[in-house]
Chains A and B, each alone.
Chain A
Amino acid sequence: MWDCGCASKATVFPRLGELLLDSGLITEADIAEALEVQKERGGRLGWILMSLGKIRRLDLFQALADQYCIPFFRDGVDELLRHAQVELAHRLSFQEVVSTHLLPWYQEGTVLHLLTDYPCATDRQAFFAATFPEATAFRLHLVTDLDFARLVQRIYRHEMLDEAIHGLFYRAPEESANPVFTRRQILALGFLGNAALFLFYFHPILAAQFFFAAVQVLFLVSVLFKLLVSLVGAGQELAEPVTNEEVRTLRDEELPVYTILVPVYREPEVVGHLVHALKAMDYPQHKLDVLLLLEEDDTATLEAAKAAAPPGNWRFLILPDAQPKTKPKACNYGVFFSRGEFLTIYDAEDRPEPDQLKKAVVAFRKNPETVVCFQAALNYFNARENLITKLFTLEYSYWFDYLLPGLDRLGLPIPLGGTSNHFRTRILKELGAWDPFNVTEDADLGIRACASGFRVGIINSTTFEEANSRYRNWIRQRSRWIKGYLQTALVYNRRPLQMLRRLGFKNWLGFQLFILGTPLLFLCNPIVWAVFLGWLATGTKALDPFFPPLLVYIGLFNLLIGNFFGIYLNMIAVYRRKIYGLLPVALLNPLYWLFFHSVAAYKALWQLVAKPFYWEKTEHGLTRMAPPH
């Protein structure tokens, strides 16, 4: 017997609004406003009232308990756990508990007592009857959604952590970045290294020629590939994947619940801004499922988030104190509790454009299910702060406004950016979510989606972030990105031929040129410059044997034309966002490559071997410029 208070007694439920009015918790005006919102945007009245700030969470749940005639427990998680028979809960996986909103609490005879934060959903009875055949009756008890989440976290602490960290590794070890190098890769690298040493010993000139030729050709191919993709991307400049008209025609009541994951760690100074930015989103607040993912030892950020007074529909998830404290782990953890049909991630310093979620919804509806994710553009609000932020802004404008649209247009795999990627939640879970061992888990996920037959698209909406304004901080961040690209390249080159079959030649080549080619380009860059500058300064003829004429011409082409394209593509990047003041800064692009990217690339290469899973934390909140409102 499924004992759900009044429902089981076949009584007509009293209306929630009337209950709240009778108890004096809201006024007639409040209920009228909430009903108006419900009429326009749909959703549950209780959540609307809570997201409007008319009632407290505890009052809402008390009213729900009254409505459904079930007991409501508000004494806290510890008290609940004191009575809990944990072994009952462990007969279910935490995913089943979260998806059914029911947690077995304790059993009295043949009566199983269940905790829920979502009373009287009748479609779960059969499942529980099958799982607990010894129980003849099920009795529900209400807890708040926050308590429910905390209970699940406490009871399934180890399982959830293990799943968040090793879930992908267990399901598809060949797609996890752990270990960095497979045995086969180590053997191949060893063989190549030895072959190179032999060649250098017996035919030093030939070996050097081969080495320089490889560097030059790599550089050339990489530059030309980026030029091609950028040209195609620039051709899409005026195209709008989602038009404002399409956004306007969306009906709020038809919008799905949208989960927003916000992983934060030691960022108390920026979390308040994020709360304001998300409050300003043009999306029904009661349909936003915002999960603030906090680490257990980061009380400062938790306090700052509470002080920013987020709406009632926000949830704070406190992650257990365990290594690694990385963004992908936190996001995987958040995915377990996500309720939305769609899901996105924002960093603490992000300022998404208000219509971004609606544009994503339109994009999802316009495209087939095979398009698993849409990446919004990222850009910086503090572009004019100093030279580093200017260079960084130019690079990002080029990357997100021209390069990614080019990849999209050519149908090539798109490495996702760190935030503002919008997913179909169900497929994201099927894909295994993020790899916590990959330090650019986003780029990895984009490639994995492509390898699994899905596609990534782009939407014409921007999230503004804070550009790194300090050199060391910039190097830390970029070295992590480049290391992640190398990890991704290694993961998907474990079985290159198999990957070729899975991706198809075009995607495979695009992946190699983009994911592997980008770090290699930056690694080659100082070699090209060193040879050239050494030759220019000394006029030495010692290098002549190493550079046959064809190689000289390719080298010159790389030096002149390669750097020219680097500059010119960055010049073009100013147009879409009308940041014309940054145009002269594009001329510094060769220096940006050399003293920024290449330095970071070598640091990344070293870390790939020495500290492959080390997460170089980027410090935020350094800017003196105010974020946009």
Chain B
Amino acid sequence: MAGLSLGALPHFIYQPIWVAIIFIAMIFWRIMAIRHFWPLPTKQISSFKLIHLAIAGIAFVLLFISYGNLIGRDAGVALLTVMLSLKVVEIRNHRDYYISCFLGYFLVVTNFFYSQNIPTALLMFIVVIIMTASLISLNDSKKSLSNKGLIKLASSMLLQAIPLMLLLFVLFPRIAGPLWGLPQDAHSGKSGIDDSMTLGKISQLILSDEIAFRVRFKDQIPAQSQLYWRGPVLWQTDGITWTELNKRHVMSHRPDFTTSGNEYAYTITLEPHNKRWLFALDFPSEPPLTPASHYTYDGQLRSIKPINQRQQIRLRSYSQFSLNPKQDDVINNALQLPDKLHPRTRQLAQTWQQQSSQPTELINKALAYFNQNDFYYTLTPPVLTGDTIDRFLFESRRGFCEHYAASFTVLMRAAGVPARIVTGYLGGEINPVDGFLVVRQRDAHAWVEVWLEDQGWIRIDPTSAVSPQRIDQGISTIMPEGFNTPLLMASSRQLIDLWHTIRTNWDALDNAWNQWILAYGPELQKEVLQKLGMTKPDWQTMALWLAMGFVLVSLLISFYLFYHRPRYDPVSQLYSTFCKKAARAGCVRPKQQGPLDFARALKQGYPHLSQQIDHITELYINLHFGKQTVSMSDLRFAIKQFKFTPSN
């Protein structure tokens, strides 16, 4: 029952409060029934049966109200939790007990839909130990094992099971899922960059410490200011919200681009975000092999299927690129502005346009405008209402990357320069423990691309004009000191450093966990097995290895269970050499014969040796049965000297 409760515990976080209430109430009922003989719902006492049924009925109605149906991930899990708790009260015989235990395992599995991190795995092991212990106690009808003994036996069984589990984990042929359709809500609730941008939205992400992806560079890591991770490109705006260019036929074309400069090869481990875009270092030279993906015309990489599980993506990027240098129809979309909005911004842009002959001059004017006026980069900008762009540029002047990117784009478009917003991440933090670059949600960023004739789309980051720190050193310099540190630890510098060290180590462990345990699928399995020396990792070979492993592990377990090193004391050992000597001479000592009887038997065969036989026997008896007046060396010497010489 404790196992069930533990198994259900994490679910309370994801499920409505009443599920937890029913569960706890049922467990309480059962405990009270055991401790204080509260009545349980049985056929005899119909009123309690009725209460039980009523609770079940209410639970189902609540389920239906909360989820609308009983199919789907969340509803299914809630249903299982409630049913199991109702079952707990009803357990009457062995069968009920077993079924509850097995359903408890199911509950643990469902937990993995929400979280698969290390603590969850540890919880799983604890639950399995407790369940096993309760199964043992069920089979130990007279309770000859104490609770401690039960847990000890269960834990030792678990430890013995682990080698086999690892073997199965590595060698069991993995099949790529899904086998059947997943429920609609199978992958909901993943946060990350969206395909639209409303001022103020990215700054919500900024407060999130969640990891977006991790990168392992093959050789060198580019400078922090070059780590632009390209995500969705936003073209269209209604003055408040920016969205992607929704023209599939255009978007699915490969853009016209050339790359040059430094080459970077790297592997991204992308956390699932349930969207189709991938994040690549600006600018990737080829779409990756897995997952199956393609370019969009504005230079994004898109997967064919949504990324709903952790993915390893191998990419190659170049530091310099020229994107769509030729004029085309699509560019007109980068000039679109909502009618009659942002009058002041338009006015400013038009003044600049008249003053400058070149688009580059315009860009510089705009950047200078941000730089020389009292613009501030802040994580907590004031909430803007009405014409957000105008109010930001001329009134509040406090904002975040998205504010700068959006207003810069509007300025450019108003001045007749094609411009678009690129969202993604900037920078990342290198974990010194394992050398991975960790990009978190708080590294989310937005910048601008403008189109210049013959040069194509060029990256302009207006934020750099206001806060060069953000670009050069990453987001953490902008964050207040002690951000995301537990409150108590934020008080001293050393504690903050300590916290940082713990966190980087934990991250590295977590990363290794993700890279090797959670990402272990058909591809990784193939790779690992090839490294292990399996030349052809098909399922027959795996089955063969698995069978061999099973035999080996079984032998080990049997050996552990049955082999018991006989602990002879040195005295007995000496005596047994004497017995062996006798056996070689033809006098085998029967198992149950005592030393005195044996001596008597020996003396009959070898009367001339009776004195020595008596001496040895006496020494042995004295040593073995407590009298320490004689020394062991005497016995050793006597036995060594002794020879069965036949009498003449």
Do chains A and B interact in one complex? no
